[in-house]
Amino acid sequence: MKRFTKDHEWVELDGDIATVGITDHAQEALGDITFVELPDVGRTLAPGDAFAVVESVKAASDVYAPLAGEVTEINGALDDKPELVNEAAEGAGWFIKLKVADAAAVEALMEQAAYDDFLKTIE
Amino acid sequence: MSDTFTGNKALEIHEPLIFETGHVATTGVDVEEPAAFESRLGGHARKTPIDLPGLTEPETMRHYVRLSRQNYAIDLGLYPLGSCTMKHNPRLNEKMARLPGFADIHPLQPLSTVPGALELMQELSHWLCAMTGMTAVALSPKAGAHGELAGMMAIRAAIAAKGETRHVVLVPESAHGTNPATAAALGYKVESIKAREDGTVSVEAVKEKLSADVAAIMLTNPNTCGLFEPEVKAIADAVHEAGAYFYGDGANFNAIVGKAKPGDLGVDAMHINLHKTFSTPHGGGGPGSGPVVLSERLAPFAPVPFLRADGTLVERADEAGEGEMPFGRLTAFHGQMGMYVRALAYMMSHGADGLKEASEDAVLAANYLKAQLADVMSVSFPDRPAMHEVLFDESFLKGSGITTLDFAKAMIDEGYHPMTMYFPLVVHGAMLIEPTESESLPSLDLFIATLRDLARSAREGDTARFTEAPRLAPRRRLDETKSARKPVLTYEPPAPYQEAAE
């Protein structure tokens, strides 16, 4: 089950490995994405650390770590096909996999319904 | 009348790429084959043909003149590019800059032969400090961002001189994009400060982020929402209290010349874009110039070369006297002399009252646009007076299928350069409009009527006017996404040419 942040990242936990990306709302707001800069595998992240940069025709934005952990894998496909983020932000357009330090910390993030409500408040 | 045989439309001449006009196998100049010689390039000599097209002199000249006719310029029309201050470049400036005593001197001439140039730099320095309420100025930075770099390096030097190390620079999200880039380039960790609902920065939000690890805040005032920061003095006090410095981005100084002095607001360093506030040409029309003014606290760290208050020139760090600790040198010589002449000509021809009036007129023009468009476009921050620029967002286009980008492209068909768009990021689909004081009332009225007509089309569902625009420009809309994802940066000749070359 996915959880969401107010900065429009999503995270899906499988054991202690979290897959992280940006939400469908985020890709919609950014417009056509032209480049994604991903971190090196092995980098340790604290919650809120800017770990990636996503560039679109409109803007360049930082992407923040929703949880603490170590980067174990990055989505290399985004190098050649950044459009994957537009096509499937919450699927094939994932950014990184993170070995999380504290899996329970995910509970503090929003569930889908809460995130949907949050989106209504910022419209 | 339909298409012509040539593809030209009278004075609108279709212009192919220079590679299509010329040919790599020909040359426009005759240079004799050199006699036998021994290369001293150590194996670095080019081994493949250079593949540049050969053109005659008239062909070359026509190519660039024709391209220049497809360009938009301040000399052609209203140029509402927000935050860029595309104001008129007075011809008097040009006349002064071409005086042989300024135009024909060389930076390696003996100092004794250029007292006039030094006096001009001294005079310009004096007025820049007077207008900003600051102690010292480094004239040499060659652009706004270069001035930012100089100011931040002075801050870093001042912190080091105190025996401290600080790693964080605070940047509100309504700051210019170069601010976080400058801080990051110097190795600082950038922390963003969110804007309030009303588009300004609160002193509480700054205090929350302040710590002994914060080196500086970089604040743009008036900010990129076109608003004067009401708590700027309290922010400065809090920053100083924490032992940090206040970098003020001076790109929007043109709104407050003669009205408020950054030094009085607590600013420690600020660059001044001579090509914005002081009417020298922007890049392309001439080099930029970004002198940085420094407060008493930072003045000792000014880079060389600098002029002392008594007019003596300090050219090298080892010539520095007591209390002078220059952090180094940024440029080979003294910076953009031609821009100093133009900026001082602008100052002297306007006088103190004229400079103040220019600021007031710039603010008046922006507020006039705001008042005349508020009922048909969405003003992002309607409750606060705008400064020299006014920010709209795309909420008035909601449900029309038209975006800020489409709206901007439709402006091209109407003969206007688009406004700054999608910046600042504080609002959705930003349209940042800065008319400057250069526009007459009829010119502003025609611009307003045009935007009102576009807004009406959008309301009435004439989406084609937007989504298909520009329809009348030399080129139709380019595929911005594809050009960013798969840029083609080299010319590939068509097949027959390739064969001929091989």
Per the CB < 8 Å rule, is B481 touching A32? yes
Candidates B404, B405, B422, B431, partner chain A, best to mutate (most A CBs within 10 A): B422
pTM of the model: 0.89
CATH number among 3.90.1150.10, 3.30.420.40, 3.10.400.10, 3.40.50.1220, domain B359-485: 3.90.1150.10
B336-353: pLDDT as tens digits: 999 999 999 999 999 999
B87-125: pLDDT as tens digits: 999 999 999 999 999 999 998 999 899 999 999 999 999
The backbone region for B85, taken as left when phi is positive above 0, alpha when psi lies in -120 to 50, beta otherwise, is: left
Structure tokens at B276: 């914005």
Write down the pLDDT at residue B286.
56
Nearest-CA neighbor of B80 among B71, B69, B68, B72?
A: B72
B397-452: pLDDT as tens digits: 999 999 999 999 999 999 999 999 998 888 999 999 999 999 999 999 999 999 99
- Domain range for A35: 2-100
Which is more confidently placed, B471 or B26?
B471
Domain positions in chain B: 91-343, 359-485
B50-64: pLDDT as tens digits: 888 899 889 999 999
In Å, how far is A17's CA from the nearest CA of chain B?
28
Helices B404-413 and B441-459 cross at an angle (nearest 10°) of 130
The answer to whether domain B91-343 and domain B359-485 are alike in fold is: no
Quick one: average pLDDT of B112-140?
95
B180-236: pLDDT as tens digits: 999 999 999 999 998 898 989 999 999 999 999 999 999 999 998 999 999 999 999
Nearest-CA neighbor of B216 among B278, B306, B305, B153?
A: B153
Please indicate, yes or no, if residue A109 is contained in any of the structural domains: no
In Å, how far is B422's CA from the nearest CA of chain A?
6
Residue pair B298/B269 in contact (Cβ under 8 Å)? The answer is yes
Per the CB < 8 Å rule, is B481 touching A34? yes
Please indicate, yes or no, if residue A45 is contained in any of the structural domains: yes
Question: Which of A35, A55, A59 is the closest to B422 by Cβ?
Answer: A59
Q: Helix or strand or coil: residue B378?
A: strand
Nearest-CA neighbor of A63 among A41, A95, A89?
A: A95
Tally of domains within chain A: 1
- Give percent above pLDDT 70 in chain B: 97
Q: What is the CATH number of domain B91-343?
A: 3.40.640.10
Number of neighbours of residue B448 by Cβ within 10 angstroms: 17
Is the pLDDT reported for residue B502 higher than 50?
no
CATH of the domain at A63: 2.40.50.100
Per the CB < 8 Å rule, is B484 touching A57? yes
Q: How many residues does chain B have?
A: 502
Is the pLDDT reported for residue A97 higher than 60?
yes
In Å, how far is A91's CA from the nearest CA of chain B?
21
Residue pair A30/A54 in contact (Cβ under 8 Å)? The answer is yes
How sure is the predictor about B485, in pLDDT bands with cuts at 50, 70 and 90? confident
Using alpha carbons only, give the angle B209, B210, B213 rounded to the nearest 5 degrees: 110
Write down the pLDDT at residue B133.
96
Please indicate, yes or no, if residue A55 is contained in any of the structural domains: yes
